[in-house]
Structure 1
Amino acid sequence: MPDRESFFVSTGQVVTGTGNTILESSPLGSCIAVCAIDHASSAGGMAHIMLPGKSPYENAHNKYRYAADALQELVASLQSVGCDLARMKTCLIGGANVLKREKDTIHTDNLKSITKLLSQMQIKVHESCTGGFERRTALMDITEGRIFVAIGSQPQRQLLDCSNVAARKTD
């Protein structure tokens, strides 16, 4: 098996890959990682979103921190590497109130914005691990067709397994 490429996805980044690629988020507090994978075409991507809505600056270097800009880029990048949006499985990870501030709504604002935008794009969310008060990390193994989450200091657990989706379609 060829060596795997690993990419660390930081705040405001959108990264896609194919084949032997692993994508891992930096820690997610109120941010949300949108993980999307089409196992049949060995394509997947992750957007690490920090803010709801669209960037007020069209050419800003950090516009992918915003939900609308990041999701638009994620979908375009996935399609460019052969992802079939009809087969794509999507997970949301993050969106916690890690500072435990009673009136802090950025985590819920992010989740509302992302779910609304995905719905408008007709992209279904298949799994979600959001809310609460602990940070999370997301890991996507494109080769295996699996997405994992770690909450706080707990070990990673599998959130989504697409490895048998292609087999089910041919039955």
Structure 2
Amino acid sequence: MFENQERIDRGIFNVIHVVQGSQFVSDEPNTVLTTILGSCVATCITDPVRGVGGMNHFLLPEGSPDERQQMRYGSHAMELLINGLLKMGARKDRMEAKLFGGAMMHDGLGKIGPANMEFAQKFLVNEGIRCVAKSLGGTDARRIRYVPTTGQARQMIVRSSEVLVSRSSVGKSNDDDGITIF
């Protein structure tokens, strides 16, 4: 098995980890995007008709025009994600978004998580992109798996080096590895 592939639900998938300050768009049905979030926010957007989607992972809502730092900021990350989807044939009127993250990990970070949440939600409203699901806020980190071609997302709550399954989910997976929340 290749380094960036793993077995998921009896199949082989190309697993791409979307790190802080990056984004990825795909129309490949065997691609799964993953990330781990604390106060950062990940926006997952799909065009279910075209079968293309993507994820970004940003650290702060807005900031410096310094080109080397732009991917850290939601304003730039959101534009890149949407433009990447449009280039692959997505249409904005069909796009559906899911938002994750924005936790208050500890008091020393100030209100970064809530500021990221507020920014992402306002950005989607201003762009006319429907937010179909979100898991924002709280005090725990999240591990996200996202299938960009279908929009299916799975979230695991991470506490103190221990993974716990959230009981507030809509549906439970069959493999006890996590939960499918929408």
TM-score class, shorter: 0.7 to 0.9
Task: Report the equivalent of 2:89.
Answer: 82
Q: Identify which of 4, 26, 33 aligns with 1:23.
A: 33
* Equivalent residue runs for 1:7-86 within 5 Å: 7-20=16-29, 21-25=31-35, 27-53=36-62, 55-60=63-68, 62-86=69-93
Percent identity reads 26
Q: Which has the higher strand share?
A: 2
Aligned length: 156
- Does the CA-based 8 Å contact 2:26-2:149 persist in structure 1? no
Moved more, 127-136 or 142-151: 142-151
Alpha-carbon RMSD across the aligned residues, in angstroms, is 2.0
Q: Is the 8 A contact 1:43 1:83 kept in 2?
A: yes
Match of 2:174 in 1: none
State the TM-score, normalized to the length of structure 1. Answer: 0.83
Structure 1's unaligned 5+ residue stretches are 161-171
| Structure 2: runs of 5 or more not aligned | 1-10, 166-177
In 2, Cα distance between equivalents of 1:115 and 1:47: 14
Amino acid at match of 2:105: V
Displacement, 1:83? Answer: 1.6
Q: Secondary structure at the match of 1:11?
A: coil
Q: 1:57 to 1:19 in 2, by over 3 A?
A: same
Structure-2-length-normalised TM-score: 0.78
Which residue of structure 2 lines up, in the alignment, with residue 168 of structure 1? none
**What CA distance in whole angstroms lies between the structure 2 residues aligned with 1:144 and 1:43?**
8
> In the aligned structure 1, how far is the partner of 2:150 from the partner of 2:74?
27
| Structure 2 residue aligned with 1:163 | none
